[in-house]
Structure 1
Amino acid sequence: MKSITIKGSERESVGKKATKALRNAGKVPCVVYGGEKPLHFSADELAFKNLVYTPNAHTVKVDLDKGEKIKAVMQDIQFHPVTDRILHIDFYQLFDDKEVTMDIPVRLQGNSPGVRNGGRLLFRNRKLTITALPDNLPDFFDVDINSLKIGDNILVESLLSDDFTILQPDSTVVVQVKTARAAIEVEEEGEEGLEEGEEGAEATEGAGETAAEGNEKPAEGGAE
């Protein structure tokens, strides 16, 4: 998984007054959990732009001014209710031998024939939650929808891997194509087409026999 470097400074004071002063200076107070003790640091708000305002998932390398570097993932973020400025971010420290839980975005690849025929594409789960070792975290789940017809779906079970564990049930629908009012299903050529042709021929013959019988009735009535 791609990593973003955040350059920050370790915080000596974590009181309300010091925190307010940091925010007024355009900095974001942060905490890294998961180590021997919580690590408090701050960084410029602009440094988090590529981490926060993106649909992509990233790990973080916190580069502190004292030379210490910490690998982590973002766990929680707080925004100001009016200005939407970042108020606080919690991180969780990564260790090579310890699994971490993370939301991974899903990307759809290709074009669904079901949609081209008038069906409705429903993207049920745009992110999937997994647990994995840091080195096994994927950037995306790429889902191929080139063969997705009307009535078809793709489940979590088709995305399973030995490198990670998906926390959603295997039967969870990721994406599906449902019938719309104007949907027109394209029938595949083959045996199905032949069977329909035979049924149509039988129906035509049956209609002919019915018409013949109908023509005979008036004749019988006239003889009487």
Structure 2
Amino acid sequence: MKSITITGSKRESVGKKATKALRNAGEVPCVLYGGDEPVHFNAPEIAFKDLVYTPDAHTATLELDGNTYMAILQDIQFHPVTDRILHIDFYQIFEGKEVAMTVPVHYEGNSRGVRNGGVLRKTYRTLRVKALPKDLPDYVTVNISDLKIGDKRSISEIEQGPWKYMHPEDTIVCQVRTSRNMVEDLEDEEEEGEEGETAAAEGETEEAKAEE
């Protein structure tokens, strides 16, 4: 998993006035949990752009007053009107110690069931995984190319790696459901047609031999 470096400063004052002053100055107040004690710090709002506004998951390398911490984003608060970042909570991680993290699901392929009028229902757009920090995936890939109408894809059938899914193996990640525009599977019809033509041709050959 890629890591985004964020440079900030530790802060001693954590009151409402100090927090408001930071936000007015374009800074985001943050807290790092998971260590011996919480670390309060702030960093420019623009520093979080590549960590927050991305379709993939990343770890964070926090550089605070000469100290470096590895962390994952745990919680984030946005302004209800402007969508500006108001506050971020991080959780400290350590090499050699597994950590649980939510990663996005990337669906790839063109489902034959969808081509025939079915609807792809994405039950999960993110999944919870657990692994060593170096083994955490940026995202999980789910290939849906061979799904026909009525087919499902479970946890046990998707991309596997050096991580563990924090879901039962029979958890349904996605499925192709019927719809009003559904038609019979065209590819199956083509296969049946080819079989029918072959059988007819064999029948004609046997009849010809009988006439001889």
Partner-residue secondary structure (3-state), 1:60: strand
Question: What is the rounded CA distance, in whole Å, between the counterparts of 2:59 and 2:156 in structure 1?
Answer: 26
Identity of aligned residues (%): 57
Structure number with larger C-alpha Rg: 1
Deviations 1:169-219 (A, max 9, x none): 22221111112222222225259955xx89xxxxxxxxxxxxxxxxxxxxx
Give the letter for the 1:123 counterpart. K
Partner-residue secondary structure (3-state), 1:5: strand
Determine the structure 1 residue equivalent to 2:166: 167
Q: Does the 8 Å contact 2:143/2:158 carry over to 1? A: no
Question: What is the rounded CA distance, in whole Å, between the counterparts of 1:192 and 1:168 in structure 2?
Answer: 42
Task: Give the direction of change, closer, same or farther, for the CA distance of 1:161–1:109 in structure 2 (3 Å limit).
Answer: closer
Question: What is the rounded CA distance, in whole Å, between the counterparts of 1:87 and 1:80 in structure 2?
Answer: 6
Determine the structure 1 residue equivalent to 2:37: 37
Q: Does the alignment pair 1:76 with 2:75?
A: yes
TM-score for both structures, normalised by structure 1? 0.80
Question: What is the rounded CA distance, in whole Å, between the counterparts of 1:145 and 1:61 in structure 2?
Answer: 35
Question: What is the rounded CA distance, in whole Å, between the counterparts of 1:117 and 1:172 in structure 2?
Answer: 25
Q: How many residues align?
A: 195
Question: What is the rounded CA distance, in whole Å, between the counterparts of 2:142 and 2:9 in structure 1?
Answer: 40
Q: Which stretch of the first structure deviates more once superposed, 83-92 or 182-191? A: 182-191
Q: Does the 8 Å contact 1:99/1:133 carry over to 2? A: yes
Determine the structure 2 residue equivalent to 1:178: 177
Structure 2 stretches of 5 or more lacking a match?
201-212
TM-score for both structures, normalised by structure 2? 0.85
Question: What is the rounded CA distance, in whole Å, between the counterparts of 2:105 and 2:195 in structure 1?
Answer: 37
Give the letter for the 1:12 counterpart. E
* CA RMSD in angstroms, aligned pairs only: 2.0
Structure 1 stretches of 5 or more lacking a match?
199-224
Q: Does the 8 Å contact 1:75/1:91 carry over to 2? A: yes
Per-residue deviation, 1:77: 0.9
